[in-house]
């Protein structure tokens, strides 16, 4: 399955979660529900996947964690904030760089219409759905 095929499934399940729960909950609630829905859809899901930083050939475990990694290919960073900003994008880009992933989804569930809260990050470039 390609990254784009996985991303399509992720977006569909995120829409289902948002439709059921609406905005205003904690990020952890959306993370658990989305991970559950993705697993139920038959995808391999890792929650809170540790991301070490390698510096001068030394692997440092300093607390970086991907919210959800799907099929070992797509990074999902979940937010529940008033608005996404550059720091959120930088966080997603960092996880993608550390893990050498090509596609990331930055999803803000604290919006009235979820499609306005989803940003695709492809090889370091931000694009909208």
pTM (2 decimals)? 0.91
Q: What is the pLDDT of residue 4?
A: 95
Q: What is the pLDDT of residue 87?
A: 93
Q: What is the pLDDT of residue 52?
A: 82
Q: What is the pLDDT of residue 129?
A: 56
Q: What is the pLDDT of residue 92?
A: 94
For residue 40, count CB atoms less than 10 angstroms from its CB and return exposed for 0-12, middle for 13-18, buried for 19 or more: exposed
List the chain residues with pLDDT less than 70: 124-129
**Distance between CA atoms of 19 and 36, rounded to whole angstroms?**
15
Written as one string, the DSSP assignment of 97-121 is HHHT-SEEEEEE-SSSSGGGGEEEE
């Amino acid at each position: 399955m390609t990254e784009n095929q996985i991303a399509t499934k992720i977006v569909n399940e995120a829409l289902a979660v948002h439709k059921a729960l609406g905005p205003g909950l904690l990020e952890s609630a959306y993370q658990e529900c989305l991970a559950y829905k993705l697993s139920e859809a038959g995808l391999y899901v890792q929650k809170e996947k540790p991301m070490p930083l390698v510096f001068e050939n030394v692997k440092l475990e300093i607390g970086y964690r991907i919210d959800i990694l799907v099929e070992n290919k797509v990074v999902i960073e979940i937010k529940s904030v008033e608005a996404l900003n550059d720091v959120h994008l930088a966080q997603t880009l960092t996880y993608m760089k550390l893990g050498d992933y090509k596609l990331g989804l930055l999803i803000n569930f604290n919006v009235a219409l979820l499609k306005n809260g989803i940003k695709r990050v492809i090889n370091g470039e931000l694009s909208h759905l």
